[in-house]
C-alpha cells in the first residue's frame, strides 16, 4: 500500500514536472465563501475570500492536461485542450461530455450552439456562467464529435475527479448520458437517472439531458426545466 502510494506520488510529480510545474500549492483547509441564495447574492459584496489556492491548484491540473498524451489520437488532432471555466469556489459544477469543434478552437467549454443553450439554462436559474463552474469529462475533442470511448474516459477520470476535488462543489449537475454515467460509474440510461438525487464525494448530484439533445429534441426542454427547479430549490436559489 505504502509502496503503491509512493509510486503514484512519484508518477504525479514526474507528470507535473513534464508539464513545467515547478512548485505546488499547500493543501488548503480554509473556509471559502459560498454563493448565498438569490436575494442575498444580489445585495452582497463579492466574497472577500482568497480563491487563490483553489485557482492555483486548478492551474496545476490545467498544465498537466495541456501536455497530456494519454489518448494519442485525440492529442494529435486537438487544437486546444478544454480544461474548464468558471469560479473555483462555485457551489455548483455543470459537467458535460467532451469539447466540440468550437470548444476545441477556443479552449473554452460550452461555447458552441449547445453552450449557448446551456448559458440560457444557467441564466434562467438566475445564475451566471461566472459564478458556476463548467467542465467536461473529456478534455480533448473526439473526432467528428463521436462519443468518448471507455478508455478515453478512464484516461481523463483522474483530471475531472481532481478538478472536482479542488472545487469541492456542493452540487454537481451532469449533462447527458456520458457525464452522468462517468461520474456515477453506472450504465443506467439518462432517462432513468435524471430527476433523482445521487452523491459524489460530498456533492449532491442531479442529472439532466444534455443541451445538444435539447437542440435536437426541443420537447425535452420541459424535463430539463423541471430538473433545474429541483436543483435550485435544494440550493436555496429562488426562481
Segment interacting with ligand URA (CB under 6 A) among 4-12, 17-25, 91-99, 149-157? 91-99
Is position 84 an interface residue for ligand URA (rule: CB under 6 A)?
no
Give backbone dihedrals phi and psi of 29, rounded to 5 degrees, phi first: -130, 15
**Number of residues engaging ligand URA in binding (CB under 6 A):** 13
Is position 227 an interface residue for ligand URA (rule: CB under 6 A)?
no
CA pair distance 49, 62, nearest whole angstrom? 22
- Give the nearest distance from C-beta 142 to ligand URA in angstroms: 10
- Give the nearest distance from C-beta 114 to ligand URA in angstroms: 4
- Give the nearest distance from C-beta 144 to ligand URA in angstroms: 14
**Closest by CA position to 217, among listed 191, 197, 235:** 191
Name residue, grid cell 476535488. 165
Binding test (CB under 6 A) with ligand URA, winner from 100, 142, 148, 169: 100
How many C-beta atoms lie closer than 10 Å to residue 214's C-beta?
22
Contact set for ligand URA, span 111-140 (CB under 6 A): 112, 114-115, 136
Contact set for ligand URA, span 187-226 (CB under 6 A): 212
Residues 6+ apart with CB under 8 A from 43: none
**Contact (Cβ atoms closer than 8 angstroms) between residue 207 and residue 174:** yes
Binding test (CB under 6 A) with ligand URA, winner from 60, 92, 93, 109: 109
Is position 86 an interface residue for ligand URA (rule: CB under 6 A)?
no
Instruction: Name the closest residue to ligand URA (Cβ).
Output: 96
Query: H-type helices in the chain, by residue range?
Result: 2-18, 38-43, 52-66, 72-77, 101-106, 113-124, 150-167, 176-184, 190-193, 211-216, 221-235
Q: Is 68 helix (H, G, I), strand (E, B) or coil?
A: coil
Segment interacting with ligand URA (CB under 6 A) among 8-16, 70-78, 93-101, 122-130? 93-101
How many helices, marked H, and strands, marked E, lie in the chain?
11, 6
Is position 110 an interface residue for ligand URA (rule: CB under 6 A)?
yes
Is position 152 an interface residue for ligand URA (rule: CB under 6 A)?
no
Name residue, grid cell 504525479. 12
- Give the nearest distance from C-beta 83 to ligand URA in angstroms: 11
Decide: residue 81, CB within 10 A, 0-12 exposed, 13-18 middle, 19+ buried: buried
Is position 148 an interface residue for ligand URA (rule: CB under 6 A)?
no
Is position 237 an interface residue for ligand URA (rule: CB under 6 A)?
no
Applying CB under 6 A, the residues found at the interface with ligand URA are 96-100, 103, 109-110, 112, 114-115, 136, 212
Amino acid at each position: 500500500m505504502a509502496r503503491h502510494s509512493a509510486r503514484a506520488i512519484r508518477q504525479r510529480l514526474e507528470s507535473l514536472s513534464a508539464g513545467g510545474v515547478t512548485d505546488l500549492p499547500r493543501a488548503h483547509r480554509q473556509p471559502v465563501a459560498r454563493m448565498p441564495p438569490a436575494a442575498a447574492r444580489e445585495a452582497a459584496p463579492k466574497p472577500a475570500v482568497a480563491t487563490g489556492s483553489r485557482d492555483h491548484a486548478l492551474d496545476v491540473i490545467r498544465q498537466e492536461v495541456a501536455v497530456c498524451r494519454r489518448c494519442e489520437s485525440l492529442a494529435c488532432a486537438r487544437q486546444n485542450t478544454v480544461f474548464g471555466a468558471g469560479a473555483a469556489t462555485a457551489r455548483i459544477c455543470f459537467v458535460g461530455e467532451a469539447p466540440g469543434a468550437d470548444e476545441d478552437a477556443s479552449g473554452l467549454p460550452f461555447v458552441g450552439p449547445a453552450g449557448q443553450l446551456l448559458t440560457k439554462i444557467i441564466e434562467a436559474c438566475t445564475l451566471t456562467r461566472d459564478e458556476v463552474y463548467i467542465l467536461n469529462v473529456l478534455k480533448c475533442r473526439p473526432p467528428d464529435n463521436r462519443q468518448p470511448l471507455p478508455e478515453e474516459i478512464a484516461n481523463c477520470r483522474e483530471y475531472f475527479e481532481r478538478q472536482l476535488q479542488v472545487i469541492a462543489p456542493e452540487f454537481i449537475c451532469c449533462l447527458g448520458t456520458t457525464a452522468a454515467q462517468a461520474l456515477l460509474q453506472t450504465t443506467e440510461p439518462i432517462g432513468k437517472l435524471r430527476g433523482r438525487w445521487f452523491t459524489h464525494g460530498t456533492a449532491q448530484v442531479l442529472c439532466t439531458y444534455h443541451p445538444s439533445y435539447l437542440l435536437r429534441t426541443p420537447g425535452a426542454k420541459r424535463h430539463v426545466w423541471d430538473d433545474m427547479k429541483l436543483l435550485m430549490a435544494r440550493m436555496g436559489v429562488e426562481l
